[in-house]
Structure formats: C-alpha cells, structure tokens
Structure 1
C-alpha cells in the first residue's frame, strides 16, 4: 500500500512538474537577466547607462513575478526527490533495533557470541 501511495504521489508530482516546465524556464531566464542587469547597473558610472540597465532589470523582475507558478514546479521536483529517496526504504522492526544502554540486551548478545 505504501508503494502504491508513493507511486501515486510521484505521478501527480511528475505531471505538475511537466505542466509548469514553461514557467520554470521563464523564471530561470528572467532571473539570469535580472542578475546580469543589476550587476551591470552597479558597475557602470554613466547616468544614461544606469537608467537603461534599471529599465532592463525592472522588465526582467516583472517577468519573474509573472512566472510565480514555477514555484509549484520546484515543489513538485522536491516531492519527486522525496518519493525517489523513500521508494526502497525498509521499515525498521523493533527486534532489529538494539538498545546499547540495556544491560540485558548486551548480555544476550555477548552470550550468543560466546556460544558460537
């Protein structure tokens, strides 16, 4: 049942990621353009060039805001990662966990090693 639920969540996350791949790419491009425009804005000394880079940065930030649904794609990619990590994880049984502070458990383990 756990594998089926993980599979179902993984399929849903995959389709959400696939549906939002366009906004994700748009967000990535607009963030790169914004970074480059701000970097050039800080580097230049000319007032006209600063205005030009400021306008470019403003337009790129506007495109970034328009691509906010890309956050769903990032969340879906993270969910796919978690599903992938938990796919083959085994359930720990109480018998497998050995308490190192329990003297009786340590005695039983040492007694079994002596009897071998």
Structure 2
C-alpha cells in the first residue's frame, strides 16, 4: 500500500512539474537576464545608461514576478526526488531484512564473500 501511495504522489508531482515546465524556464531565463542587466548597470558610466538599465531591469523583474508560480514546479521536482529516494529506501530495507537473518543457508552468498575477503 505504501508503494501505491508513493506512486500516486509521484504521478501527481510529475504532472505538476510538467505543467509548470514552461514558467520554470521563463523564470530561470528572467533571473539570468536580471543578472546580466545588473552587471551592465554596474559597468555603465552615464546617467542615461543607468536609467535605461534600471527601466529594462524593472521590465524583466515584472516578467520574473509573473512566473513566480513556477516555484510550485520546483517544489514538485523536490517532492518527486523525495518520493524516488523513499522508493529506493523501501527496496533496500527488504534486502537488509534477509541479510540480518541468522540462518547460514539463507545468507550463504554473504558468508562466501566474507570468506573470500
């Protein structure tokens, strides 16, 4: 039942991630453009150039703020990662329970590897 719930949660997170993929790209692009504009603002010596870079920066900032719900896509990607790690952790626990048994015939391969080392 736990694997089924992880699968359903992963499916929902994947759909949210895919729905917000375009805004995530635009948000990343606008953040990069804001960085470039800031660097050009610092390099500019004239007052008119600085005013132009500020106006352009405000325009790009408004684009970035309009795509702020892309953070939901980033959160969905993080949730998808957590579900993936929990899925793998569940697989590891079932194998670990077999190794912890004291029956020598059940753990023959592990004991053989220990003898060879």
Higher helix share: 2
Aligned equivalents of 2:53, 2:88: Cα separation in 1: 50
Unaligned runs of 5+ in 2: 101-117
Q: Which residue of the partner structure matches residue 54 of structure 1?
A: 54
Task: Quote the offset at 1:44 in angstroms.
Answer: 1.2
Unaligned runs of 5+ in 1: 97-116
Output one character per residue of 1:70-110: Cα deviation in whole Å (capped at 9) or x when no partner: 000000000111111111213487xx6xxxxxxxxxxxxxx
Aligned equivalents of 2:83, 2:43: Cα separation in 1: 44
Q: Which residue of the partner structure matches residue 109 of structure 1?
A: none
Q: Which residue of the partner structure matches residue 114 of structure 1?
A: none
SS at match of 2:45: coil
SS at match of 2:68: coil
Q: Which residue of the partner structure matches residue 31 of structure 1?
A: 31
Query: How many residues are aligned here?
Result: 94
CA RMSD, 1 decimal: 1.4
Aligned equivalents of 1:28, 1:76: Cα separation in 2: 16
Which structure's CA Rg is the greater one?
A: 1
Query: Moved runs in structure 1, 4+ residues, more than 6 A?
Result: none
Output one character per residue of 1:36-71: Cα deviation in whole Å (capped at 9) or x when no partner: 101110121111111111111101110010001100
Q: TM-score, structure 2 length as denominator? A: 0.75
SS at match of 2:88: coil
Q: Which residue of the partner structure matches residue 102 of structure 1?
A: none
Aligned equivalents of 1:32, 1:60: Cα separation in 2: 10
